[in-house]
């Protein structure tokens, strides 16, 4: 029965997925016992047994009525069920309606925009905090952006670069990327959010201790959406994915051809291929390095870059999600509403939570 959840408990929705299992392991490592929730009762029971016992709750975002009461008594919901554009809204709405704080692991820009637009007022009214994308994408980038903007008086532009080496992706990441690719990228241009073709823009970046300039292609990152909350004078914001130089030349054309194909049988075929593929990367993911750089400029071109680096994108996601859930339970959220990571929490604290897991960050002038 729903009232079996002790008050202030964590409910992990999508516990059976690749990311959900890592979040569960991280919670257990800290002595927490989240309630395991999702659509598949048999898989949840099996997972609960393998974790030495846990309460389970069954509900399916594709049947919103089945989520009634599922978060009753919960303090916070961690949602790892994607694609979020397809499955996120009923879970977020249920969490808010049932009085729980919320965070999720989305990387889908349009889902973040929609969540803020449609659910922020109600969350605020109820004194609840919901943080979409409190994960590798886009918590470190958003925190880096806020710190860099705050320490650069007169900052007018933000660029965030994501780079990962030997990056193996989970089935869920591939499916969400496919879903997000159908939509244009949002960038901030002259103070307005503008829809652009993904990969339409290129920019170069240098990471500290790296001899080379790297090339990034534009994609829809979450940091763009919160940039003006971090600095009211920010007029331009774009997010970039660092890719091999040759790919940066081919991808603009390739995406122009490929994206319309996603709405034909080719899209359905691709999704079937992803479903038949591997669950996620093996243990080698723990060694895979990543870098995120927020670059902020004033109108004179001066500014600073804040670089966060570490290893293991999925492991870091689990650390960020569980740390965020603990902060929400402990009443450390800075505001109510649907907000970004660096609006919800002190950005330095979010980055500091990653340090025991090998992440470091540094600030340099441009
Ligand atoms: N922002 C980031 O840095 C970051 C990092 C990691 C993951 N993510 C995102 O997190 C999400 C999960 O990734 P993952 O690797 O864990 O994926 P996954 O292994 O495919 O797991 C997806 C989870 O969602 C559930 N689910 C899938 N389709 C469903 C449906 N139609 N109805 C109800 N439940 C459904 C699955 O339940 P079943 O077990 O019943 O199938 C499973 O629990 C993805 O959107 C991914 O992009 C983002």
pLDDT of residue 3: 42
User: In this model, does residue 4 exceed pLDDT 60?
Assistant: no
pLDDT of residue 101: 98
- Whether 17 and 52 share a structural domain: yes
Determine the distance separating the centroid of ligand 1 and the alpha carbon of 175, expressed in angstroms: 9
- Whether 90 and 168 share a structural domain: no
Tens digit of pLDDT for each residue in 45-58? 999 999 999 999 99
Percent of the chain scoring above 70 in pLDDT: 98
Residue 261 or 309, more confident: 309
- Give the number of the atom of ligand 1 that is nearest the alpha carbon of residue 43: 39
Closest C-alpha residue for ligand 1 atom 47? 173
CA 310 to CA 361: how far, in whole Å? 9
- Whether 85 and 31 share a structural domain: yes
SS (H, E, C) the chain: CHHHCCCCEEEEECCCCHHHHHHHHHHHHCCCCCEEEECCHHHHHHHHHHCCCCCEEECCCCCHHHHCCCCCCEEEEEECCCCHHHHHHHHHHHHHHCCCEEEECCCCHHHHHHHHHHHHHHHHHCCCEEECCCCCCCHHHHHHHHHHHHCCCCEEEEEEEEEECCCCCCHHHHHHHHHHHCCCEEEEECCEEEEECCCCCEEEECCCCCCCCEEEEEECCCHHHHHHHHCCCCCEEEEEEEECHHHHHHHHHHHHHHHHHCCCHHHHHHHHHHHHCCCCCCHHHHHCEEEEEEEEEECCCCEEEEEEEEECHHHHHHHHHHHHHHHHHCCCCCCCEECCHHHHCCHHHHHHHHHHHCCEEEEEEC
Task: Tell me the average pLDDT of the chain.
Answer: 94
Q: Do the domain assignments include residue 154?
A: yes
Among 170, 179, 308, 317, name the best residue to mutate to test ligand 1's pocket (greatest count of ligand atoms within 8 A of Cβ).
170
Among 50, 63, 80, name the best residue to mutate to test ligand 1's pocket (greatest count of ligand atoms within 8 A of Cβ).
80
Tens digit of pLDDT for each residue in 185-196? 999 999 999 999
Question: Could you tell me the residue range of the domain that residue 19 belongs to?
Answer: 9-136+315-346
- Whether 153 and 296 share a structural domain: yes
Q: What CATH number does residue 113 fall under?
A: 3.40.50.720
- Whether 328 and 291 share a structural domain: no
Contact 193, 224 (CB under 8 A): yes
- Whether 200 and 338 share a structural domain: no
Tens digit of pLDDT for each residue in 28-84? 999 999 999 999 999 999 999 999 999 999 999 999 999 999 999 999 999 999 999
CA 80 to CA 34: how far, in whole Å? 13
- Whether 296 and 203 share a structural domain: yes
Determine the distance separating the centroid of ligand 1 and the alpha carbon of 105, expressed in angstroms: 9
User: In whole angstroms, what separates CA 170 from the centre of its chain?
Assistant: 14
Determine the distance separating the centroid of ligand 1 and the alpha carbon of 37, expressed in angstroms: 12
User: In this model, does residue 257 exceed pLDDT 70?
Assistant: yes
User: In this model, does residue 1 exceed pLDDT 80?
Assistant: no
- Whether 156 and 169 share a structural domain: yes
Closest C-alpha residue for ligand 1 atom 17? 172
- Whether 180 and 326 share a structural domain: no
Q: Do the domain assignments include residue 164?
A: yes
pLDDT of residue 177: 87
pLDDT of residue 57: 97
pLDDT of residue 253: 84
pLDDT of residue 249: 81
Contact 212, 233 (CB under 8 A): no
- Whether 213 and 232 share a structural domain: yes
The band of 8, judged by pLDDT with boundaries at 50, 70 and 90, is: low
Q: Do the domain assignments include residue 188?
A: yes
Mean pLDDT of 204-227: 96
Q: Do the domain assignments include residue 4?
A: no
CA 11 to CA 24: how far, in whole Å? 10
- Give the number of the atom of ligand 1 that is nearest the alpha carbon of residue 107: 1
pTM of the predicted structure, to 2 decimals: 0.96
The band of 248, judged by pLDDT with boundaries at 50, 70 and 90, is: confident
- Give the number of the atom of ligand 1 that is nearest the alpha carbon of residue 15: 43
CA 292 to CA 285: how far, in whole Å? 17
Determine the distance separating the centroid of ligand 1 and the alpha carbon of 296, expressed in angstroms: 33
The band of 6, judged by pLDDT with boundaries at 50, 70 and 90, is: low
Determine the distance separating the centroid of ligand 1 and the alpha carbon of 194, expressed in angstroms: 28
* Residues at CB less than 6 angstroms from ligand 1: 14, 16-20, 38-40, 43, 60-62, 80-84, 87, 105-107, 133, 135-137, 170-173, 176, 279-280, 314, 317
Closest C-alpha residue for ligand 1 atom 42? 17
Q: What CATH number does residue 228 fall under?
A: 3.30.360.10
- Whether 97 and 177 share a structural domain: no
Percent of the chain scoring above 90 in pLDDT: 83
In total, how many domains does the chain have? 2
Mean pLDDT of 334-356: 98
Mean pLDDT of 111-117: 98
- Whether 246 and 188 share a structural domain: yes
């Amino acid at each position: 029965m729903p009232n079996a959840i002790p008050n202030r408990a964590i409910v992990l929705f999508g516990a059976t997925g690749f990311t959900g299992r890592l979040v569960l392991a991280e919670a257990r490592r800290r002595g927490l016992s989240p309630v395991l929730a999702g659509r598949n009762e048999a898989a949840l029971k099996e997972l609960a047994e393998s974790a030495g016992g846990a309460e389970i709750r069954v509900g399916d975002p594709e049947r919103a009525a089945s989520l009634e009461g599922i978060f009753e008594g919960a303090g916070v919901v961690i949602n790892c069920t994607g694609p979020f554009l397809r499955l996120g809204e009923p879970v977020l709405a249920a969490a808010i309606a049932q009085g729980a704080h919320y965070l999720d692991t989305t990387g889908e820009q349009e889902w973040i925009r929609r969540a803020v637009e449609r659910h922020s007022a109600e969350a605020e009214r109820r004194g609840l905090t919901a943080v979409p994308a409190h994960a590798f994408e886009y918590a470190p980038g958003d925190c880096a952006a806020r710190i860099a903007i705050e320490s650069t008086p007169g900052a007018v532009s933000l660029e965030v670069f994501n780079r990962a080496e030997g990056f193996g992706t989970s089935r869920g990441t591939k499916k969400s990327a496919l879903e997000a690719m159908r939509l244009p990228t949002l960038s901030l241009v002259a103070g307005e959010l503008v829809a652009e073709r993904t990969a339409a823009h290129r920019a170069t970046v240098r990471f500290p201790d790296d001899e080379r300039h790297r090339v990034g292609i534009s994609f829809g990152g979450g940091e763009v959406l919160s940039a003006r909350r971090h600095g009211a004078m920010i007029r331009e914001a774009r997010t970039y994915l660092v890719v091999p130089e040759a790919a940066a030349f081919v991808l603009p054309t390739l995406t122009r051809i490929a994206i319309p194909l996603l709405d034909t049988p080719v899209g359905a075929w691709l999704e079937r291929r992803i479903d038949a593929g591997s669950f996620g990367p093996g243990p080698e993911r723990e060694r895979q390095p990543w870098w995120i750089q927020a670059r902020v400029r004033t109108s004179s071109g001066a500014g600073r870059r804040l670089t966060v680096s570490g290893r293991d994108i999925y492991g870091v996601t689990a650390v960020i999600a569980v740390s965020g859930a603990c902060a929400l339970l402990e009443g450390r959220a800075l505001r109510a509403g649907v907000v970004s990571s660096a609006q919800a929490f002190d950005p330095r604290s979010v980055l500091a939570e990653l340090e025991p897991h090998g992440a470091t960050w540094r600030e340099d002038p441009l």
